[in-house]
């Protein structure tokens, strides 16, 4: 009899698992129908999501409740739906500059509001009650910064609870006594899956609840959900999943929420090639979160082995925006072979709605254990300093007809302009603008300097690196965004 029961149980979970995979594939293939069209870029703010929250208030399916305010007085809203006994609590943007999952949450609402997937949604909402707290740190989001208006990291305020945002998070967790909690973040785009050149597009953690890193049923359930989500992501971003170090952090909310009895699942959205605004990663959030919720609703996660959790590669930080390897660098008359790692920092405009890039040398030397989103094998190439074009132009409009790529081929990386714009620090042309008295700096490759130089092979300039962007001068191929204006 026991054997028959076990066989039936295995058959049941096999059928349910197959249904989960079909559901996931359908979610991915139909995503465009549910993507919230008003949210299109990373620097979203409180005012961008308020019309969407107000729309939900008018829908009787949802309960929208103000649960507190940020330091600067912006409302924090808890959005709830479902009638099931199992409670799932999801919160996003605890750090103001980590908005990917906030966008995905509103995609999920569009999915719930649609007429599609009726059977799956019936199962979800009858077995679960879902609670969403999007944009926990609206003050930080307003200026696209990690910390709140007090200048503290909310995710390190679980013990002292000095931030009103942290107090709200604790109060909601305790009042719901949630079975599962999804802690939704963004991480650096420079993380990779350990010992690979694959970006850690999504990273997970089932936080430890003590220094011993013990595994009880609460934490084990979080691990099982992560194993399932990893299997989902592997279909669409193979090898691009990482796992955070699980050292116990007594001040962190994730660790304490695990300790307080909610199965805490940390999801971190990292980098994905050619996805600067992280819209593909947003899609992966949507698919994996909904898939995870579905496996909770139908109970199929119970049959997942936690052994596969440890098989997920750990996060590493070995990525550059651009890696130039084995290039010849002449210093004081002697040639050296070095690798150069270049990263492009984002500098926000005044209202934090957009940004420009500043490319700097991040590391140099033997970078054989590092990788790049873009990598150039520069063996037999030598570094050449850029020159300043001798003619002085009156205004920027006078350079519109210049053949910039020919200037680069001729070794010029700077153009003099007499009347430079007062309020702009960048130009969307692949050459720097400078004032008439500017002198091109002597070539010195060192960590922290702006990454602007040329690469020569057999006496001919083949590549230009302008503000950290690589430009192939034979075919003009580049992902260039901006150069700088030096006044």
Give residue-wise pLDDT tens across range 332-367.
999 999 999 999 999 999 999 999 999 999 999 999
Contact residues for 87 (Cβ-Cβ < 8 A; gap 6+): 128, 129, 131, 176, 177, 178, 179, 180
Same domain, 251 and 106: yes
pLDDT above 50 (res 12): no
- Choose one of 281, 315, 349: the last residue of a domain: 315
- Residue 437's SS3 state is coil
pLDDT reported for residue 11: 47
Across residues 158-169, what is the average pLDDT?
Answer: 98
Percent of the chain at pLDDT exceeding 70: 96
pLDDT above 90 (res 5): no
Across residues 72-87, what is the average pLDDT?
Answer: 98
pLDDT above 60 (res 9): no
pLDDT digits (tens, 9 = 90+) for 93-130: 999 999 999 999 999 999 999 999 999 999 999 999 99
Percent of the chain at pLDDT exceeding 90: 93
Same domain, 264 and 197: yes
Across residues 227-243, what is the average pLDDT?
Answer: 97
**Continuous segment of H or E residues that includes residue 75:** strand 75-82
Same domain, 346 and 396: yes
Residue-number span of the structural domain to which 178 is assigned: 15-315
Cβ pair 133, 172 in contact under 8 A: yes
Longest CA–CA separation in the chain, Å: 92
pLDDT above 80 (res 298): yes
Distance between CA atoms of residues 58 and 69, nearest Å: 21
- Mean pLDDT (the chain) is 95
Task: Give domain status of residue 259, yes or no.
Answer: yes
Beta bridge mates, 64:
79
pLDDT above 60 (res 273): yes
In SS3 terms, 204-255 reads as EECCCCCCCCCCCHHHHHHHHHHHHHHHHHHHHCCCCEEECCCCCCCCCHHH
**Continuous segment of H or E residues that includes residue 122:** helix 118-127
Question: How many residues appear in the chain?
Answer: 487
Across residues 400-422, what is the average pLDDT?
Answer: 95
Same domain, 327 and 466: yes
Task: Give domain status of residue 1, yes or no.
Answer: no
The pLDDT-based confidence of 291 (bands split at 50, 70, 90) is very high
Single pTM value for the model: 0.94
Distance between CA atoms of residues 355 and 424, nearest Å: 11
Distance between CA atoms of residues 126 and 124, nearest Å: 6
The pLDDT-based confidence of 133 (bands split at 50, 70, 90) is very high
Distance between CA atoms of residues 288 and 185, nearest Å: 14
Task: Give domain status of residue 394, yes or no.
Answer: yes
Same domain, 244 and 384: no
Same domain, 90 and 71: yes
- Choose one of 254, 289, 315: the last residue of a domain: 315
pLDDT reported for residue 439: 86
- Give the domain CATH number at 69: 3.40.630.10
The pLDDT-based confidence of 16 (bands split at 50, 70, 90) is low
Same domain, 336 and 446: yes
Task: Give domain status of residue 4, yes or no.
Answer: no
Same domain, 301 and 405: no
Same domain, 280 and 388: no
**Nearest alpha carbon to residue 451 among 480, 474, 476:** 480
pLDDT above 90 (res 441): no
**Nearest alpha carbon to residue 86 among 181, 21, 174:** 181
Same domain, 134 and 159: yes
Across residues 388-409, what is the average pLDDT?
Answer: 95
The pLDDT-based confidence of 20 (bands split at 50, 70, 90) is confident
Range 396-403 contact pairs with CB under 8 angstroms and sequence separation of 24 or more: 396/420, 396/421, 396/427, 396/433, 399/429, 399/433
Same domain, 96 and 244: yes
Number of domains in the chain: 2
pLDDT reported for residue 17: 55
Q: Which two tokens stand for residue 393?
A: 């132009």
pLDDT reported for residue 21: 77
Distance between CA atoms of residues 392 and 394, nearest Å: 7
């Amino acid at each position: 009899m026991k054997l028959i029961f076990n066989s039936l149980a295995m058959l049941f979970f096999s059928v349910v698992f197959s249904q989960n995979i079909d559901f996931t594939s359908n979610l991915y293939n139909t995503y465009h129908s549910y993507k919230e069209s008003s949210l299109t870029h990373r620097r979203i703010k409180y005012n961008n999501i308020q019309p969407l929250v107000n729309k939900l208030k008018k829908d009787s399916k949802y309960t929208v409740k103000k649960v507190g305010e940020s330091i600067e007085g912006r409302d924090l809203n808890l959005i709830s739906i479902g009638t099931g006994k199992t409670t799932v609590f999801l919160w996003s943007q605890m750090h103001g500059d980590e908005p990917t999952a906030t966008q995905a949450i509103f995609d999920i609402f569009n999915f719930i509001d649609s007429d599609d997937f009726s059977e799956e949604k019936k199962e979800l909402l009858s077995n679960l009650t879902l609670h969403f707290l999007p944009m926990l740190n609206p003050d930080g989001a307003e200026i696209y910064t990690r910390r709140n208006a007090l200048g503290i990291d909310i995710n390190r305020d679980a013990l002292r609870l000095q931030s009103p945002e942290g107090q709200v998070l604790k109060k909601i967790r305790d009042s719901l006594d949630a079975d599962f909690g999804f802690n939704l973040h963004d991480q650096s785009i420079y993380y990779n899956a350990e010992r690979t050149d694959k970006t850690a597009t999504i990273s997970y953690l089932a936080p430890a609840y003590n220094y011993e890193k013990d595994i009880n049923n609460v934490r084990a359930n979080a691990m099982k959900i992560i194993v399932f989500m990893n299997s989902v992501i592997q279909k669409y971003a193979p090898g691009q999943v990482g796992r955070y170090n699980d050292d116990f952090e007594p001040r962190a909310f994730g660790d304490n929420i695990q300790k307080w009895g909610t199965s805490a699942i940390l999801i971190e959205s990292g980098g994905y090639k050619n996805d600067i605004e992280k819209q593909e990663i947003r899609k992966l959030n949507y698919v994996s979160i909904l898939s995870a919720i579905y496996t909770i609703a139908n109970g199929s996660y119970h049959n997942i082995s936690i052994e596969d959790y440890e098989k997920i590669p750990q996060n590493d930080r070995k990525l550059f925006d651009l890696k130039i390897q084995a290039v010849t660098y002449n210093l004081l008359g002697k040639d050296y072979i070095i690798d150069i790692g270049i990263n492009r920092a984002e500098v926000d405009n005044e209202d934090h709605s957009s940004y420009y890039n500043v490319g700097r040398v991040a590391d140099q030397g033997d970078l054989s254990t590092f990788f790049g989103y873009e990598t150039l094998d520069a063996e037999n190439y030598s570094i050449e300093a850029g020159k300043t074009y001798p003619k002085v132009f009156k205004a920027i409009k006078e350079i519109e007809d210049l053949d910039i790529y020919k200037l680069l081929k001729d070794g010029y990386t700077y153009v003099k302009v007499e009347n430079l714009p007062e309020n702009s620090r960048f130009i969307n042309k692949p050459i720097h603008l400078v004032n008439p008295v500017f002198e091109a700096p002597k070539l010195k490759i060192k960590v922290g300097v702006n990454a602007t130089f040329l690469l020569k092979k057999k006496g001919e300039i083949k590549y230009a690196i302008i503000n950290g962007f690589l430009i192939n001068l034979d075919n003009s191929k580049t992902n260039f965004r901006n150069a700088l204006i030096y006044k």
